[in-house]
Amino acid sequence: MPYDKKAIHFGGGNIGRGFVAEFLHNSGYEVVFVDVMDSIIDSLQKNKSYTVTEIGDDGERTFTIDHYRAINSKHEEQQVIDEIATADTVTCAVGPNILKFLAPVIAKGIEARKLDYPLAVIACENMIGATDALRGFIEQKLAEDTLKNISSKARFANSAIDRIVPNQDANAGLNVKIEKFFEWCVESKPFDGTKNGAPKIEGIHYVEDLRPYIERKLFTVNTSHATAAYYGTNRGIPTIDQALADKEVHDIVRDVLKETANLIVKEHGIAVEEQNDYVEKIIKRISNPALEDKVERVGRAPLRKLSRKERFIGPAAKLAELGESYEKLLGSVEMAYRFQDIAGDEESAELAKILKENDAKTVVTKVNGIEEGHPLFADLVKVVEKVQKK
């Protein structure tokens, strides 16, 4: 493999090392990791390779990832700018709330570009429109002239990324254990008319309209995952597979998925059988005991997960608008509201504070982004009142 293309990847964490970098590497890209965590960057700089182990029904397979470099953007901003100026792609997997912090350095890299083809920017986060959000932050930092010619400098494509990468063993170092299944869908249209076309990354499924893919993923994989995590936490169950082995939790997850499946089928014209097959596949994936996926990881950042476009309120709001049932989703919302003061999770502490300091109506407006008058509002207020009582 010549490794003659260059990819800058922000976030050397689980999905960054275990999924995005693996695919870039296998497609002949030299990967430049950018992170702010000293331990990850130091380790990537010291070790010239790490392994990714895929766990499937048919056993395990291990791959070696090499041909990468690593930069700490806290200390070496100019280096990151120079790399972006001469790169083919920028990807990130840092978490939706971090996107705004990446924007200034990416904007400077775009300003410094002299190449005769645009940079491909693809955010790989669990968020509807993550690349659009990143683009918005970047554009706030660009000079007027650059903004006028932005399509010659950079192209921005949203993506939906699906692969379970649990937290890794403390002694694993850089090595990543990951499920075998993957899906990475990226919008194709933003690359129309460019010299090189869409980035040639093996495994990416380019699609004209991403909405059905990202909504199906977020409202099936992540809705069920988070439901299992929050009910599991509430019952003192440590991992997702163990939560799903509990008959009651298992049945609740299935009931919640009936509600989101109803929406997905109605909204996107996906056949009922196809959605049923998808649901079965997802339940099997998240029940995989080999992943040992902790409920705290899957439930992390409850304020984000309880927000308007996210895995519970997104589908529940739409179902309410359509006059369809969303009762089981309210149960997941209740359990998410009960995910408070979890060690290492700042949002869970913030959630506890918000619930203590505000009345239920204010909480719903603030946390769920649902206003009085919306058909979901009164039911959410009841859920919050119940949680506030106990």
Ligand X SMILES: NC(=O)c1ccc[n+]([C@@H]2O[C@H](COP(=O)([O-])OP(=O)(O)OC[C@H]3O[C@@H](n4cnc5c(N)ncnc54)[C@H](O)[C@@H]3O)[C@@H](O)[C@H]2O)c1
Ligand Y SMILES: O=P(O)(O)OC[C@@H](O)[C@@H](O)[C@H](O)[C@H](O)CO
Residue with Cβ nearer ligand Y (218 or 363): 218
Token representation of residue 345:
């999770």
| Beta-carbon count within 10 A of 208 CB | 7
164 binds ligand Y (CB under 6 A): yes
Among positions 162, 187, 334, 345, the unique one binding ligand Y when judged by CB under 6 A? 162
Q: DSSP letters along 126-179, please?
A: SSTTHHHHHHHHHHTTS-HHHHHTHHHHEEEE-EEEE---PPPPTT-TT-EEEE
Contacts with ligand X by CB under 6 A: the residue count is 27
With CB under 6 A as the rule, give the number of residues binding ligand Y.
10
Our finding on whether 199 is near ligand X (CB under 6 A) is no
Are the beta carbons of 3 and 28 closer than 8 angstroms? yes
Which of 298, 295, 302 is closest to 348 using CA atoms? 302
User: Which span (97-105, 149-157, 192-200, 315-323) binds ligand X, by CB under 6 A?
Assistant: 97-105
Give residue number: closest CB to ligand X: 13
157 binds ligand Y (CB under 6 A): no
The one-character DSSP state at 17 is I
Q: How far is the CB of 298 from ligand Y (least distance, A)?
A: 5
The stretch among 60-68, 90-98, 110-118, 274-282 that binds ligand X (CB under 6 A) is 90-98
Q: Measure the CA–CA gap between 367 and 355, rounded to whole angstroms.
A: 10
CA 133 to chain CA mean position, Å: 13
Using CB under 6 A, pick the residue from 25, 135, 155, 300 that binds ligand Y.
Answer: 300
Stretch that binds ligand Y, among 151-159, 162-170, 208-216, 349-357 (CB under 6 A): 162-170
Which stretch in 42-50, 52-60, 106-114, 119-127 sits in contact with ligand X by CB under 6 A? 119-127
Residues with a catalytic annotation lie at 217
Site string for ligand Y, 98-137 (x = CB under 6 A): ----------------------------x-----------
DSSP 49: -
CA torsion 62→68→69→73, rounded to 10°?
-80
Each residue 136-175 as x (binds ligand X by CB under 6 A) or -, in order, gives -------------------------x-xxx----------
Kindly state whether residue 37 participates in binding ligand X, applying the rule CB under 6 A: yes
How does DSSP classify residue 294? B
**C-alpha distances in angstroms, 345 versus 7, 32, 223, 292?**
31, 29, 19, 19
- φ and ψ of 324, to 5 deg: -100, 170
Kindly report the number of other CB atoms within 10 A of residue 54's CB atom.
20
Contacts with 209 (C-beta within 8 Å, 6 or more apart), sequence order: none
163, 216, 318, 338: which one binds ligand Y (CB under 6 A): 163
| Least separation in angstroms between CB 11 and ligand X | 3
Q: What angle do CA 347, 123, 51 make, to 5 degrees?
A: 90
Counting contacts by CB under 6 A, is residue 347 touching ligand Y? Answer: no
Q: Which helix (H) or strand (E) holds 52?
A: strand 50-56
Binding partner of 300, given ligand Y, ligand X, none, CB within 5-8 angstroms per partner class: ligand Y
Q: Minimal distance in Å, beta carbon 97 to ligand X?
A: 9
Which positions lie near ligand X, rule CB under 6 A?
A: 10-16, 34-37, 40, 73, 93-96, 98, 101-102, 124-126, 161, 163-165
Which positions lie near ligand Y, rule CB under 6 A?
A: 126, 162-164, 221-222, 225, 298, 300-301
